Structure 1
Amino acid sequence: MTDKRMVTEQAASAAAPYNAATSYAKLVKAYPFIKIAGTHTSAETSTIGGIGYARRGAHLLQLDLYLPAQARRNQAPLAAVVLVHGGGWRSGERANMAPLAARLAARGIAAAVIDYRLADEARYPAAIHDVKAALRWLRANSAAHGIDPQRIAVAGGSAGGQIASLAGVTNGMPTFDPDAAGNAVSSAAQAVINIDGLSDFTSPAARANEDDPHKKPSAAGFWFGGGYAEAADLWREASPTFYVNPRTPPMLFIGSAQPRFAVGRDDMVAKMTAAGVATEVVMLPDTPHSFWLFEPWIDPTADAIAAFLHTHIPTTTRQAP
């Protein structure tokens, strides 16, 4: 029998937006104590909204920057993180990550929540290109916002976790960063946080959901432009686990109680451990997917991210890579 708390979001579409309100409606019966997380915190922070960071044709991609108070007080430069929203690669909005960004700013970490091109606009690997562009923008503009250019991480939830992981482990690869050639500003991430996102599309456990023939197409199949049989090379190429090497940045995995969204995580952790790369796994028990959108789980999520970044990103200010 299926436990009533094994609640998962279905593949998102334009007709079914993915945000805190729609997720709340699906989850509140099984989790009646949850509350949609807001952006208010008790700490002094500031927000700069609607910053254009890259233009794709007529579409100006934007980000909102959440800054701790010390960023305005000429204190030591801060660590920062680019936050990538989820939504099945086809839905979602940057505002979904705003509550988490506000809490990270309250913990002394600058955070940028970003737009990226969804699958209806541009399919894989366009979203990876956009995240790389956001990392490059944040590094290029770090001095203006009190950010250390050598302490910039990337994080995401659900589909955004997979996107963030792939962006973080593929530094310098032209397929994922076509703007790298001749660009003096790096899109490297010094740490990666994957919140309930896939690490391996090719495994049978992932394909059971992401390549289900009854989904015409599945969310992943739509993003790749074909199911596993038609586009197996892309399904493998987009799996972060296949890029682990000794130069892979430190990675934190934060997981829900829903095993569907952890596929590939254990194998990737084992590869990172064997390669001598720092990695941690934080599990939040008895949680649904999308837990980071809600109280009481958003603060433990922010605590885990802050602790990881303060531990694993160097504290000295150096020139950007």
Structure 2
Amino acid sequence: MADGAGWRTAVVPVLVGAAAALAAVTVLLRASAWPSALAVRWVFERGARRTSAVLAPLVPDGVTARLGEVVDGAPGIPAAHVDVVHPTALADGERLPTVVWVHGGAWVSGSTRDVVEYARILAARGFTVVTVGYAVAPAHRYPVPVHQVSAALRHVVTHAERYHVDPARLAVAGDSAGAQIAAQVAALVTDPSYARRVGVEPPLPPDGLRGAVLLCGAYDVARIGGSGLRGWFLRTVLWSYSGTRDFATDPVVALASVRDHVTARFPPAFVSAGNADPLLPHSRDLVDRLREHGVPVDALFFADDHEPALGHEYQFRLDTAAGREALERVVAFLGTHLASRAV
């Protein structure tokens, strides 16, 4: 009896403390997106570092990078920054077709360093590539990144000569969350009425974009959901980015569902996603919507049984045939739509 009483005396307070801690964590997880968002950020940052390490040896010589250029935005919007990458051997004043690339990271993580190696590889093909670093959630919410990417486009045009940018041959691009942001910017540039509803001033005239490269993006907020770990992840990042747990029915957040807001003026688009990407239906649906409006689309999809299975952000795996194919298709698309100045 004494031993039993002693056991209870020692263990019961520990169990009570553990239960209280678990209850506190549960309340915190329900009250704030921060804990889960930080977990997602940690996982994504590890993956981004691995991807960069794989791409680094593939970067050719003869590419110059100007890193960390500050972009001032609208009042109340944090300053963004851009990295500018272009071939080294350029004449004074030479201007190249330009791609403004928005990095991924589920809206809660990521920076330009995650895509700088891919940008160098793309720039070596004869482009100026400008990658945009925007503020991530939960600290900064929608539509802050849309404002920042719009400001970056305006900044790139303002500094076109210094950056070797041809403002008459501009395309936007993005991967994952960055593809959603890039697509939304393309939609608001080409539809001023939509821009007014989003509350973002278009940085370019409606014909200012010649193309959009959209890889593995999410273009329909209402479709985002699911159960298990995947459902937890998707709810976490949308709650973080939108600022509301009821993001699927929020009318402000609904404006971020690009597939509902494209028009016939949307720029020609290259759209791709892997056969095992959970967001593949978003890309297929966006392609259908764009084609319904008569927008020229080059789509790269794969058979359902493609092996190896191509997951999210497959295009950065340049050690695979599919990743190399995606790069060649992107270069060909940009070559076609940015080949000459608009008349």
Give the TM-score normalised by the residue count of structure 1: 0.80
C-alpha distance in 2 between matches for 1:58 and 1:170: 18
Question: Match of 2:118?
Answer: 100
Q: For residues 58 and 312 of structure 1, do their structure 2 counterparts lie closer, same or farther at Cα, with a shift above 3 Å needed?
A: closer
Structure 2 residue aligned with 1:267? 285
Asked if the contact 2:37–2:108 (Cα under 8 Å) also holds between the matched residues in 1, the reply is yes
Match of 1:201 in 2: 221
Q: Say if 2:290 is the partner of 1:290.
A: no
CA distance in 1, matches of 2:66, 2:225: 40
Contact 2:274–2:301, Cα closer than 8 Å, also in 1: yes
Secondary structure of the corresponding residue to residue 66 of structure 2 = strand
Residue 238 of structure 1 corresponds to 256
Distance of aligned partners of 1:313 and 1:17 in 2 relative to their CA distance in 1, 3 Å threshold: same
1:178 correspondence with 2:178: no
Contact 2:36 2:236 in 1 (8 A): no
1:52-103 Cα distance to aligned partner (Å, 9 max, x none): 0125769542111001235x31475211111111111111121111111101
Question: In 1, Cα distance between the equivalents of 2:262 and 2:339?
Answer: 20
Q: Shift in Å at residue 140 of structure 1?
A: 1.3
Amino acid of the structure 2 residue aligned with 1:296: D
Aligned length: 295
Q: 1:65 — aligned with what?
A: 84
Aligned partners of 2:228, 2:146: CA distance in 1, in Å? 19
Q: 1:219 to 1:66 in 2, by over 3 A?
A: same
Deviation at 1:141, TM superposition (A): 1.1
When the two chains are superposed, the root-mean-square deviation of aligned CA atoms in Å is 3.2
Task: Specify the alignment match of 1:111 in structure 2.
Answer: 129
Tell me, which stretches of 5 or more residues in structure 2 are unaligned?
1-34
Give me the whole-angstrom Cα distance separating, in 1, the residues matched to 2:317 and 2:156: 27
Letter in 1 for 2:216: D
Identity of matched residues, %: 22
Aligned to 1:7: none
Partner of 1:310: 335
1:212–1:218 contact (8 Å) kept in structure 2:
no
- TM-score of the pair, normalised by structure 2: 0.75
Q: Cα gap change, 1:39/1:135 in structure 2, threshold over 3 Å: closer, same or farther?
A: farther
The structure with more helix, counted as a fraction of residues: 2
AA aligned to 2:42 is P
Sort the Cα spacing of 1:99 and 1:231 in 2 relative to 1 into closer, same or farther, 3 A.
same
Distance 1:170 1:105 in 2: 26
Q: CA deviation at 1:307?
A: 0.8
Q: For the pair shown, which has the larger CA radius of gyration, 1 or 2?
A: 2
Please identify which structure carries the higher strand content: 1
How far the C-alpha of 1:250 sits from its partner, in A, is: 0.7
In structure 1, the residue matched to 2:270 is 252
Higher relative contact order (CA 8 A, sep 6+): 1
Give the conservation status (yes or no) of the 8 Å contact 1:200–1:263. Answer: no
Tell me the alpha carbon deviations over residues 188-226 of structure 1, each in whole angstroms, 9 at most, x when there is no partner: 4321111101121223xx333699875695211221122
